[in-house]
C-alpha cells in the first residue's frame, strides 16, 4: 500500500484525491461513519454547515479516494481545512489518513491558490483537471458560507423531498400505527433525500426502502422517524437535526421476527420502547430528546 501511495504522489505531486465510485468532481455531503467520533469544526458558527462536506474524484484503475472535511477554520481570507482521506482499491477501503489544505482567495472572493500544508504545491497548478475542479467547487462552498447573504440564511432542507411536510400527531404509537394499517392519510410519509440515505447506509442501515415521518419541525429543528425496510425486517430510527446538521439518531423499533420491539413517542418527546406489540405494555426503557436535539436516556 505504501508503494502505491508513493506512485500516486509522483503522478499527482500531492496525494491523489478521488472517490469511492468513479464519479467526476461532484460535491456531496456525507457524515463520518464512526458514531463516537468528536469533530472540532470551526471557530465561527456560520461555517458549521460545512461539517462533513466532501468531494469525490475518480483516479481510475480501481483506485479512488474520498476527502471529508472534518475541521474548518478561517483567518481573514484564508481557510484552513483538515480532511479525513479514505482511500479505496476496487471499492474496498484500504487506507485512511489526514491532509490539511489552505485555501487562499483574492479581493473579489475568487480562489487564487490551494496549498497542501507542509508543501509549496498549489493544487490549482499540479492536480489533474477533475481533481482540480473538485477543489474549486469545494472552495466555492467555503466562500459562500461566509457571504453576508448566507450567514443568516437557512439552507434548503436536505433530508426529505417535501418542502412543507405535515407532522404526525403526538403521541405516536406504533401499536396504533400498525392497527391503522400504516395509513398515509393519518401518518403522512415522505421520500428521503440522498444525503440522509447515505448517512443511514454509512451507519449500517442499507435497505431497499426508506420513508420519513415528521415528528417535529420548526425554524431550527427537524425530527424524523425513519422507516427502513430490509427483507422481512422493518427498522424504525429516530433522527434529530438542527439547521441542516444531523444531531443524533437512535434505533427505537424493530419488527419482523417473533420478538418485535415497538415504541411510543409522547408529546414531550419522551420515547418509550416495549417488548412486543400491544396497547398496555410496560416500558422496557425510556429516552428523551433534549433541548439540544440529543437523544438521551430518561
DSSP one-letter code for 282:
P
CA angle 162, 165, 167 (to 5 degrees): 150
3-state secondary structure at position 184 = coil
Give the start-to-end residue ranges of the domains of the chain: 46-145, 172-297
Predicted confidence band of residue 220 (pLDDT cuts 50, 70, 90): confident
Phi and psi at 119, nearest 5°, equal: -130, 175
The mean pLDDT value of the chain amounts to 80
Predicted confidence band of residue 59 (pLDDT cuts 50, 70, 90): confident
Q: Per-residue pLDDT tens for 138-186? A: 888 787 766 655 444 445 678 998 888 999 999 999 999 999 999 999 9
In terms of DSSP bridges, do strands 261-265 and 270-275 run parallel, antiparallel, or are they unpaired? Answer: antiparallel
Closest CA to 261 of 271, 249, 248, 247: 271
Q: What would the grid cell of residue 110 be?
A: 475568487
Closest CA to 173 of 279, 250, 82, 47: 279
Q: Kindly report whether the global pTM for this prediction surpasses the value 0.85.
A: no
pLDDT of 9 = 41
- Report the share of the chain in percent with pLDDT over 90: 44
3-state secondary structure at position 160 = strand
pLDDT of 106 = 83
Which whole number is the average pLDDT over 105-114?
Answer: 86
**Is pLDDT at 10 greater than 50 in this prediction?**
no
**Is pLDDT at 14 greater than 60 in this prediction?**
no
For the chain, how many residues are written?
298
Q: Per-residue pLDDT tens for 229-276? A: 998 999 999 999 988 889 999 999 999 888 899 999 999 999 999 999
Q: Per-residue pLDDT tens for 185-217? A: 999 999 999 989 999 998 999 998 999 999 999
Amino acid at each position: 500500500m505504501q508503494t502505491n501511495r508513493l506512485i500516486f504522489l509522483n503522478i499527482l505531486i500531492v496525494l491523489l484525491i478521488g472517490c469511492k465510485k468513479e464519479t467526476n468532481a461532484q460535491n456531496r455531503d456525507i457524515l463520518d461513519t464512526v458514531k463516537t467520533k468528536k469533530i472540532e469544526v470551526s471557530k465561527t458558527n456560520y461555517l458549521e454547515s460545512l461539517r462533513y462536506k466532501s468531494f469525490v474524484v475518480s483516479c481510475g484503475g480501481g483506485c479512488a479516494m474520498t476527502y471529508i472535511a472534518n475541521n474548518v477554520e478561517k483567518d481573514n481570507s484564508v481557510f484552513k481545512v483538515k480532511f479525513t482521506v479514505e482511500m479505496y482499491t476496487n471499492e474496498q477501503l484500504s487506507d485512511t489518513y489526514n491532509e490539511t489544505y489552505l485555501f487562499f482567495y483574492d479581493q473579489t472572493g475568487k480562489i487564487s491558490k490551494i496549498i497542501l500544508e507542509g508543501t509549496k504545491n498549489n493544487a490549482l497548478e499540479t492536480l489533474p483537471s477533475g481533481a482540480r475542479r473538485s477543489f474549486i467547487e469545494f472552495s466555492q462552498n467555503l466562500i459562500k458560507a461566509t457571504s453576508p447573504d448566507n450567514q443568516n440564511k437557512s439552507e434548503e432542507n436536505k433530508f426529505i423531498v417535501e418542502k412543507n411536510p405535515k407532522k404526525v400527531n403526538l403521541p405516536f404509537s406504533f401499536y396504533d400505527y400498525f392497527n391503522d394499517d400504516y395509513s398515509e392519510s393519518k401518518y403522512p410519509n415522505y421520500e428521503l433525500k440522498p444525503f440522509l440515505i447515505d448517512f443511514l447506509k454509512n451507519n449500517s442501515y442499507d435497505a431497499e426502502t426508506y420513508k420519513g415521518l415528521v415528528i417535529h419541525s420548526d425554524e431550527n429543528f427537524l425530527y424524523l422517524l425513519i422507516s427502513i425496510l430490509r427483507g422481512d425486517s422493518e427498522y424504525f430510527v429516530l433522527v434529530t437535526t438542527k439547521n441542516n446538521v444531523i444531531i443524533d439518531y437512535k434505533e427505537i423499533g424493530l419488527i419482523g421476527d417473533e420478538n418485535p420491539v415497538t415504541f411510543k413517542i409522547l408529546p414531550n418527546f419522551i420515547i418509550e420502547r416495549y417488548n412486543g406489540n400491544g396497547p398496555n405494555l410496560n416500558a422496557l426503557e425510556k429516552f428523551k430528546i433534549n433541548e439540544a436535539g440529543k437523544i438521551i436516556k430518561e
